[in-house]
Structure formats: C-alpha cells, structure tokens
Structure 1
Amino acid sequence: MNFLASKAQLRASFLRWALFLVPLIVLLGFGSGQFGSAETIWFQSLTKPVIFPPAMWFGIVWSLLFVSVGVALALVVSAWGAHGREIAIVVFALHFIGVLAWTPVFFGMQEMVIALYILVYAVISLLAVIAVFWRVRRLAAVILLPCLAWLIFAGVLNYQFIVENPDGGSDRGGAIERIEL
C-alpha cells in the first residue's frame, strides 16, 4: 500500500474542514467589520476618490473573498502529510491577522496611513501565502489570486483617500459643528 488515504477519505476531510473554516473565516471578517464602519460621520465627510465604487460592492466582494479564502485554507489544512502544510497554515494565520486589522484601523481609529501600511503588509504576506499554498495545493494558491487583486485595489484606494484628504478627514477631533450660546 503506497497511499495514506483514499480519494473519498481526502474529499471527506476537505468537506469537514470547509464546513468549519469557511464560516469561521466569514465570521472573523464580519467580526472585524464591527470595529469600524463606513457609516461614520468621519468617513461620510471624506472626499471620495474617483475610483471609489458604490458602497454595496464592498460587502459583496469581501463576503465572496472570505468564502474563497476559507475554501483555499480548507484545501491546505485537509492535505494531511503534504510537505509544508504546517508552515502554510502559520503563514496564512499571520497574513489573515493583518487583513482583519485593516477595518478597525481605517474606520475605527480613523488612521488612513497606518491602514495603508497594513494593506502593504497584507499584499506582501498574501504573496507569501500563495507561494506556500502552491507547494501544498496549487488550486488553493490559484483561488487566492482574486483576493490578491482586491487587496492591491484596496491599497490603491486607501492611498487615494490619503491624497484626497490630506488633513485626515474633518472629524478627527470628534466635533463636526460648534455652537456657541
């Protein structure tokens, strides 16, 4: 016998991991989104870059990306015995922490420059994730390519927000309008 598991067993392992990881990744993404919102007065007062898409697309795109990220991670996690599996999981975890940090920093802390650095980290670390996933399961690496494209776009958009709003936005002090009596 020269194999560890049958194809059916490998498929079942992937399905179990996917049923756990896809909702977990989506839930973590949703949780991160609770620490900041585009509905704040600060964000509403910002000058929007020309490339800023309609707000509805962000929830749709991030949801689809988080589902695909969960599937890619499940492919790697279920690859028992694959060379580099453990390091791929660690590299992914370090990357995903950065992705989750962006929303609280940009919307919650209203720190556009720090948020841009986080996106640079997210892009670079995602390239590392793609490289290590490629060694474990090539399909998992390919599934992450749309996420890479979106993170690059998010970085360009974040940069454009900084250019369009050099003062950081009008609500930095918390007050929009002062009324004297």
Structure 2
Amino acid sequence: MADAEMVRRETSFWRHAVVTVPAILLLGLASGWVSNSGYGNPWFDGLAKPQAMPPGWTFGAVWTTLYILLGVALAFILQAPNSGTRRTALILFGSQMMLNFLWSPVFFGMHQPRLALAIIVVMLVLSIATTFWVARIRKAAAWLMVPYMVWLSFASILNYEIIRLNPAS
C-alpha cells in the first residue's frame, strides 16, 4: 500500500509541475515583455548603474532558473493534502508572485524605481514568509525558494542603488 501511495503522490506532483513550471515561466516572460524590461529599454539604458550590476544576459538566465524552481516548489505545495497550512502557503505564494509580475512593469514600464523598490521589499518579506509556510509542507520545496530570496535581496540592493545614483528618476 505504501508503494501505491508513493506512485500516486509522484504522479500528482508531475501533473502539477507540468502546468506550474510553464505557467510561471510564461507569466514571467510576459511581465518582462510587456514592460520592455532590461537592457535595450531606452529609459533604463540612460540610467547610471551600480558597479555590481550584472551583464544583461544574466537576468534572463537567472530569472528562467528561478521561475523553474518556483514552479517546482508550487507543484510540491499543490501536491500536499488540503489543509490550513497549504491554503496559507498558496495565498502567500500567489501574493508574492503577483508582486513579482508587477515589479517589471512598474520599474521598466512606468519608470517608477521608488515604487518598484517598495514592491520588491514587500515581495522579499512575503517570499520569506512563504518559505517558512512551505517548509511545513515539504522542506525540499522551501529549499527551492532559497535562491529566489537571495536574488530578491540582491535585486533590492540594485533597485536601491539605481535610485541613489539617479535621484531625479
């Protein structure tokens, strides 16, 4: 019976992952595309950048990797039995992802780095809370979120530095 349960759970995980991974990747891609994010955006190209600013290709590689990890983490959450913990984890996960998809249009599209900084700080706080709730469901899923929190911390610093270096922006 334990083997049958293991197969059922693994099948459930893959059914979720085959949807969550592409969905998060596509939403992230759409968010960046709609806002003309990154290098090649005339407004962004005209800003002074911090010395720690990575080359443009880094962002695509990092966000693709992070969105895959987040999609897998979400599949683990969805695989868990219905519970208050699962519900809270899903609400937190969804909330921080909505802010994630909002950040690029605010920063690159609306040219509002100060508002974007507020968004990314709240996103970081929510991602930390999400990770703690997800750890109650499955520790592996929580560990999948750690690189995301590290990158959000770094991105917050870059966002702040762009504001500092471009006070009129």
Normalising by the residue count of structure 1, what TM-score does the alignment of the two structures yield?
0.88
For structure 1, which segment, 35-44 or 11-20, has the greater mean C-alpha deviation from structure 2 after superposition?
35-44
Structure 2 partner of 1:56: 57
Corresponding position: 1:101 with 2:99: no
Distance 2:82 2:10 in 1: 15
Match of 1:47 in 2: 48
Separation in structure 2 between the aligned mates of residue 147 and residue 92 of structure 1, nearest angstrom: 12
Tell me how far 1:34 sits from its aligned partner.
Answer: 1.6
| Aligned residues of 1:83 and 1:136 also touching (Cα < 8 A) | no
Determine the structure 2 residue equivalent to 1:30.
29
Aligned partner of 2:15 in structure 1 is: 16
Q: CA deviation at 1:131?
A: 1.0
SS class of match (2:34): coil
Aligned equivalent of 1:122: 123
Letter of the 1:66 counterpart: Y
Pairing of 1:59-70 with structure 2 (within 5 A) = 59-70=60-71
Q: Which letter maps to 1:76?
A: I
Structure 1 distance, partners of 2:134, 2:151, is 18
The share of aligned pairs that are identical, in percent, is 38
For residue 35 of structure 1, report the CA deviation from its aligned partner: 2.2
Unaligned runs of 5+ in 2: none
Distance in 2, matches of 1:157 and 1:40, equals 17
Bigger fraction of residues in helix: 2
- For 1:99 and 1:49, locate their aligned partners in 2 and report how far apart those are by CA, in whole Å: 22
Aligned to 1:153: 154
Alpha-carbon shift at residue 82 of structure 1 (Å): 5.4
SS at match of 1:51: coil
Deviation at 1:138, TM superposition (A): 1.1
Check conservation: 1:49, 1:161, Cα contact below 8 A.
yes
Q: TM-score, normalised by structure 2?
A: 0.94
Question: For the residues of structure 2 that align with 1:60 and 1:109, how far apart are their CA atoms?
Answer: 24
Please show how residues 164-175 of structure 1 align to structure 2 within 5 Å: 164-168=165-169
> In the TM superposition, what is the alpha-carbon distance from 1:41 to its structure 2 partner?
1.3
- Once the two structures are overlaid, the 10-residue window that deviates more, 128-137 or 80-89, is 80-89
What is residue 173 of structure 1 aligned with on the other side? none
Q: Which amino acid aligns with 1:30?
A: L
Q: If you compute each CA radius of gyration, which structure gives the higher value, 1 or 2?
A: 1
Cα offsets for 1:122-181 (capped at 9, x unmatched) = 10000110011011111111110000000000000000001111111xxxxxxxxxxxxx
- Report SS of the residue matched to 2:50: coil
